[in-house]
Amino acid sequence: MVPHLVTALTGPINELEQRILESMPAIERWFRLEWMEHTPPFYTSVDIRNAGYKLAPVDTNLFPGGFNNLTPEMLPLAVQAAMAAIEKICPEAKNLLLIPEKHTRNMFYLMNVQRLIEIFGLAGLNVRLGTLDESITEPTRLQLPDGSELTLEPLLRTPRRLGLKDFDPCTILLNNDLSAGIPDVLKNLHEQYLLPPLHAGWAVRRKSQHFDSYEEVAKKFAKLLGMDPWLINPMSAQVGEVDWQEGTGLDRVQTQVDALLTKIRRKHKEYGINEKPFVVVKADNGTYGMGIMTVRDAKELEDVSRRTRNKMGVVKDGQTVSQLIIQEGVPTYERVNEAVAEPVVYMIDRYVVGGFYRVHADRGIDENLNAPGASFVPLAFSESHHLPKPGMRPGASAPNRFYMYGVIGRLAMLAASYELEATDPDAEVYE
């Protein structure tokens, strides 16, 4: 069940794995101290790429879907983490209003929603679903493949509170990333807990800010372990005011791509890595694997097809893209049955509760795997994959490998915490 890394490339990562295992008490203590100063996001999933020579988070999702892809065995762990989160944030909570994405025909997504209801229900909350879809004006039942059903209800807004008919929640949990902007119905809710906060949504959030925070975290962590932060940090640059339709700003993208490729080449030389460098150009505000292209040479940007321009210019919910992040490409050398795979780590509060491999048979090692056709292989919880097994040979133990992924996932989560502090619109009050 454990994907195999290409052997020739496992050297440095095996060293990293060993160093992380040996430093476990120092690492766990460091996290504990960080969480004394910073608040973890309510829940987080992190996509990780393992290139053998480096390991890096490439996407940190603050409204994670895909909880249905975790094994049922992870349920108790998720429930316990959910209890810890609720107890800290809103111990007096009784009713939880869950606001999912609008796509009600995506059965995979609905199964994720069902799993979230289960987790928070078992943590002891009355959970009901409210939808941002204004076309839903009365309780609407949705059938799920397993025969169960979900009921979506229209939101009921009063001047000060948000709820449903006969349901006044103390806590509102968003599983909607707000790519379409912040709806009025969610604004100015000062009496209820709104989790995650509005500025965690893609209406406000920027990848570049996240990776700036991640760089800060990676540097601290690398200092703790006495290693080069590059081994866990994808380098990146930001370019603004790009118009894909008009073609304006693409020259600046090209310059940055060229500069970043040069920096990567230098790193590869330093470590004797025999890989062709590439970068990934992404919408700074994008998600769902949309608005992403792989570039191996800056010249490729001179002649971008109309189709690519259309694809790059618009992301989820029709949001336009004018700001880009250019990121060091990290190939993934993990494979499940020959297909390219990348690990995804799930966290609730500060705890790793599970994970899976996203597998895509039709994609290359340097491509985005979050695309139609992807499948999911859960990291079997029954073998306690996120607990390390000291004493095993580096690279040979799935638990140790996944412990390392859990550490990287938590670093990205910590970066999200820094990021949300930096972008908190209410933060200046305390300055």
* Residues near a second copy, by CB under 8 A: 24-29, 31-33, 35-36, 72-73, 75-77, 79-81, 83-84, 86-87, 91-94, 121-126, 350-351, 381-382, 384, 386-388, 390
Pairing label, strands 171-175, 193-195: parallel
State in angstroms the smallest separation of the CB of 406 from a second copy: 11
Cβ proximity to a second copy, 83 vs 404, nearer residue? 83
Burial 128-163 (b: 16+ CB within 10 A, else e): bbbbbbeebeeebebeeeeeeebebbbbbbeeeebb
Q: d(Cα 127, Cα 147) in Å, to the nearest integer?
A: 19
Measured from the CB atom, is 84 or 398 closer to a second copy?
84
Name which of 226 and 272 has its Cβ closer to a second copy: 226
Compute the least distance from the CB of residue 32 to a second copy, in Å: 4
CB of 108 to a second copy, least distance (A): 23
216 CB burial (10 A radius; 0-12, 13-18, 19+): middle
Minimum CB distance to a second copy, residue 368 (Å)? 31
Residue number with CB closer to a second copy (164 or 281): 164
The residue among 30 and 376 lying less far from a second copy, judged by its C-beta, is 30
The nearer residue to a second copy, 77 or 237, going by C-beta atoms, is 77
Question: What is the closest distance, in whole angstroms, from the C-beta atom of residue 358 to a second copy in the complex?
Answer: 22
CB 148 to a second copy: min, Å: 10
Rg of the chain in Å (alpha carbons)? 21
Q: Which is nearer to a second copy, 206 or 401 (CB)?
A: 401
Which amino acid type is present at position 82? A
Q: How far is the CB of 160 from a second copy (least distance, A)?
A: 22
Pick between residue 124 and residue 183 the one whose CB is nearest to a second copy: 124
CB of 33 to a second copy, least distance (A): 6
Q: Which two tokens stand for residue 25?
A: 């008490």
Instruction: For 252-278, give one letter per residue: b (16+ CB within 10 A) or e.
Output: ebbebbbebbebbeebeeeeebebebb
> Which CB, 72 or 240, lies closer to a second copy?
72
Determine the angle formed by the axes of helices 24-37 and 398-423, rounding to 10 degrees: 20
Query: How far is it, in rounded angstroms, from Cα 76 to Cα 82?
Result: 10
Token couple for 392:
């095993």
- CB of 16 or CB of 125, closer to a second copy: 125
Taking the complex as a whole, the smallest distance from the CB of residue 91 to a second copy amounts, in Å, to 4
CB of 321 or CB of 353, closer to a second copy: 353
Taking the complex as a whole, the smallest distance from the CB of residue 301 to a second copy amounts, in Å, to 46
Shortest reach from residue 41's CB to a second copy, in Å: 17
CB 413 within 8 A of CB 64: no
Count CB-CB contacts under 10 A for residue 118. 18
Q: State the Cα–Cα distance between residues 313 and 325, nearest whole angstrom.
A: 13
Q: Which residues contact 188 (CB under 8 A, 6 or more apart)?
A: none
